[in-house]
Structures are given as structure tokens and as C-alpha cells.
């Protein structure tokens, strides 16, 4: 049996700002479109819906984020500022070549470190969590090997 993870979805309010942030991180915009009508609602169980979607992919082509902005129906819950130990989907982790450079660029775009520092795990990784636009929790890791 073959299984492949296609993408991870994140619902946002300001799709343009979030696309710009993930572009700064190094993802590439694959496309932007509307998902609407009866067929889309059958997939999600929401009925008639209008959703603006942007698909972002990692440069290696193996990871994708589907960013969605719901026009209808209204968003019903907001979990963006949930702490790290909350139940459910929490964060997406990216491995980067240069954590200091990546963090510097993202901080200039409004990202905030979740803790006060970048942490080193043994001689394997340097890691940190940041909150990006709209409080989206993102992990960054740099391999030391």
C-alpha cells in the first residue's frame, strides 16, 4: 500500500498576508482559486460554500499547505492562539538551511518567538516555535548534521 500526505490546510482571514509570509519562508505559490458551490460543500459537509484557496508548496515539491479564506459560511471558531498543549492539529514544522537567517526575515514580517530563545537539541537540531500572521503556530528546525 502506498500513502502520501498531499497537504495540510490552514484557515485564515487575510489570505494575501499569509501567502506573503509563507513566500518569505521559502514556499512557492502553486495557485490561487475559488472553491464554491454544491460539489465543494459535499466534500466539507458545509453545504453551499465560497472559499478562496491558495496552494503553497515547498521547493522540493514534497510538502504543501492549502490556505483557505471562507467567505461563506462564516468561520465559527478561532483556535489560532491555542497553547502548544491543546488538543487537535497544532502546528506545521519546516526544516530550513539557516535558522538564524530565516528567523530574522520572518521576524521582520511580524513573526514572534513563542519562547525567548532558539533551542539546541543535542547535536541534532536547532529549533524554535514562532507565531506567524494571525497567530499561526510554526516550528522551524535546522539540522546540525
Structural domain span for residue 44: 8-72
Q: What angle do CA 40, 93, 135 make, to 5 degrees?
A: 70
Considering only CA atoms, give the Rg of the chain: 16
Residue 86 lies in a domain: no
Model-level pTM? 0.88
Enclosing H/E stretch for 129: strand 125-131
CA dist., res. 66 & res. 34, Å (int): 12
Residue 37 lies in a domain: yes
Q: Are residues 109 and 58 in the same domain?
A: no
Structural domain count of the chain: 2
Q: Are residues 53 and 100 in the same domain?
A: no
C-beta atoms surrounding 10 within 10 Å: 19
pLDDT digits (tens, 9 = 90+) for 11-69: 999 999 999 999 999 999 999 999 988 888 888 888 888 999 999 999 999 999 999 99
pLDDT digits (tens, 9 = 90+) for 5-14: 789 999 999 9
Render the burial of 72-86: b for 16+ CB within 10 Å, e for the rest. Answer: eeeeeeeebeeeeee
Cα-Cα-Cα-Cα torsion 34, 39, 41, 45, nearest 10 degrees, comes to -140
Cell numbers 462564516: residue: 74
CATH of the domain at 118: 3.10.180.10
Q: Are residues 59 and 104 in the same domain?
A: no
Residue 80 lies in a domain: no
C-beta atoms surrounding 136 within 10 Å: 21
Amino acid at each position: 500500500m502506498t500513502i502520501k500526505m498531499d497537504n495540510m490546510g490552514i484557515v485564515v482571514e487575510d489570505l494575501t498576508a499569509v501567502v506573503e509570509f509563507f513566500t518569505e519562508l521559502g514556499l512557492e505559490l502553486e495557485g490561487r482559486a475559488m472553491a464554491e458551490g454544491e460539489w465543494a460543500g459535499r466534500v466539507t459537509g458545509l453545504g453551499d460554500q465560497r472559499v478562496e484557496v491558495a496552494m503553497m508548496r515547498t521547493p522540493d515539491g514534497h510538502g504543501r499547505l492549502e490556505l483557505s479564506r471562507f467567505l461563506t459560511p462564516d468561520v465559527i471558531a478561532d483556535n489560532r492562539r491555542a497553547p502548544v498543549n491543546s488538543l487537535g492539529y497544532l502546528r506545521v514544522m519546516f526544516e530550513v538551511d539557516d535558522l538564524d537567517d530565516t528567523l530574522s526575515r520572518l521576524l521582520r514580517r511580524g513573526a514572534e518567538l513563542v519562547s525567548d530563545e532558539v533551542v539546541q537539541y543535542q547535536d541534532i537540531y536547532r529549533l524554535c516555535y514562532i507565531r506567524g500572521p494571525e497567530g499561526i503556530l510554526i516550528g522551524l528546525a535546522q539540522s546540525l548534521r
